[in-house]
Chains A and B, each alone.
Chain A
Amino acid sequence: MSTMIEFSGVTKFYGPFQVLKDCSLQVAKGEVVVVCGPSGSGKSTLIKCANGLEPFQGGQLTVDGIPLHDPKTDLPKLRARVGMVFQHFELFPHLKIVQNLCLAQQKVLGRSKDEAMVKGMALLERVGLKEQANKFPGQLSGGQQQRVAIARALAMDPIAMLFDEPTSALDPEMINEVLDVMVELAREGMTMMVVTHEMGFARKVAHRVVFMDKGEVVENANKDDFFNAPRSDRAQQFLSKILTH
């Protein structure tokens, strides 16, 4: 399998504080990688580096062969090809749902309005929200908003999808509707990097699990190895805490 995303020795500082320490990992084409770890471990920062939303100071990071550490890289062009879903959805509240899906298609990809609409409506149907097309984001539930956010990212025909804690801000009864969409995506072979605490999701579709702590990649293992026999103490502790209940 060829590599889609490759971190090698990525280092990042917020002032004197080091958030990422020499992080290396690869995501192959079609692979689903779940990144977990205690809060403040740098997992969100790591994933945001992968589409240039967070600058980093050291190391190398390539996405589909394009170097992000190179200042000459056209970041908007790269970002248009990498989908991102945020913890707090970040739909544009002044635009209708369908306009949320069409904006970047038209302005970034140069699609016509009709083309963008057809694509947008098809994706809304796919996430089960066709009837909501003309509502505003504020009129939808959290779970619905997150499904729209996923559809918005998919409208750009991304080569990979990044999820930054997509279910952390949701009420428990809405988590599954979002996970269902993500599971389906994973099964279709989308390359995905997912920061999440949903271990059930990880067990179901992840190929590999990356465990981070204090800015370091502590464990990077096959899913089964990770859940059955985590090598590091810190991953064992984390798992025992998260899986007791």
Chain B
Amino acid sequence: MFADFDFDIILRTLPYLFFEGMKFTLMLTALATAGGILLGTILALMRLGSIPVLPKIAAGYVNLMRSLPLVLVIFWFYFLVPYLGQWATGASRPMQVGAFASCLITFTLFEAAYFSEIMRAGIQSISKGQVGAGYALGLTYRQVMGYIVLPQAFRNMAPVLLTQTIVLFQDTSLVYVLSVTDFLGAASKVAQRDGRLVEMYLFAAVVYFAFSFTASMLVKRLQKRIAIIR
């Protein structure tokens, strides 16, 4: 049944697919994960802290982001960020923001909401006694968080954080709405140019599966290695 198919096209476009497309996808995934975890941790600390108003602001942000479809947020930010930049810098024209920067900002802000919920659970999983022991030694709030609570929270939550990253890796394909050349975008461009839709989308599916599945396996292994001995 594959007689009419031209799988050779994959080999011919491989450099383009990986060095243009996959590079974009992986860079976006890695940077958005880093930014998302950083911002998410700050949101979680805001939410669990005792400073008035901050918990409400953080909760409002998280709930807003989690209630919007990602595609919509991608769209919104793409059109909004140039004007926000103009407003922030006081320039006379909308700021020039590249597609990659726009995507990165969007995914960081969006994923931060999910990462913050994971980190919130992670921080809450550390017993009050640990916090008390830190304070009893004379550590300040920052030190207790930085040396005792967060390192344990990260370790407890590492598998969930990485699983969320795998979801993020797949979700980056939604940047197609901006006609950006991520991995799926690259495959799709070739598919449409050469009329080889089945081959290219089949290959894209296989690659996404291979990456995600391998990553899940690695997460499982890692889980065993970094678990805190109790």
Contacts and interface: CB of A to CB of B under 8 A. Distances in A.
B213 to A, nearest CB: 30
Contact of B139 (A52, A108, A139): A108
Nearest to A162: B136
B133 A93 contact: no
A150 interface: no
B179 interface: no
Interface in B156-200: none
B133 A92 contact: yes
B133 A80 contact: no
B143 to A, nearest CB: 6
Contacts of A152: 137
A138 B230 CA distance: 4
Contact of A53 (B130, B135, B228, B229): B135
B15 interface: no
Nearest to B146: A107
A80 B155 CA distance: 27
Contact of A93 (B136, B139, B140, B229): B229
Interface residues of A, number: 33
A138 B139 contact: no
- Prevailing SS type, chain B contact patch: helix
Interface in A49-74: 51-53
Interface in A72-88: 75-84, 86, 88
Contact of B137 (A75, A88, A94, A103): A103
B74 to A, nearest CB: 37
A107 B229 contact: no
A104 B228 contact: no
A90 interface: yes
A52 B136 CA distance: 8
Contacts of A79: 135-138
B139 A76 contact: yes
Interface in A95-152: 103-104, 107-109, 136-139, 152
Interface of B: 129-130, 132-140, 143, 147-148, 151-152, 155, 228-230
5 contacts: A53-B132, A53-B135, A77-B138, A109-B138, A136-B228
Interchain residue pairs A-B with the least CB separation, the first 6: A80-B138, A138-B229, A90-B133, A104-B137, A84-B136, A108-B138
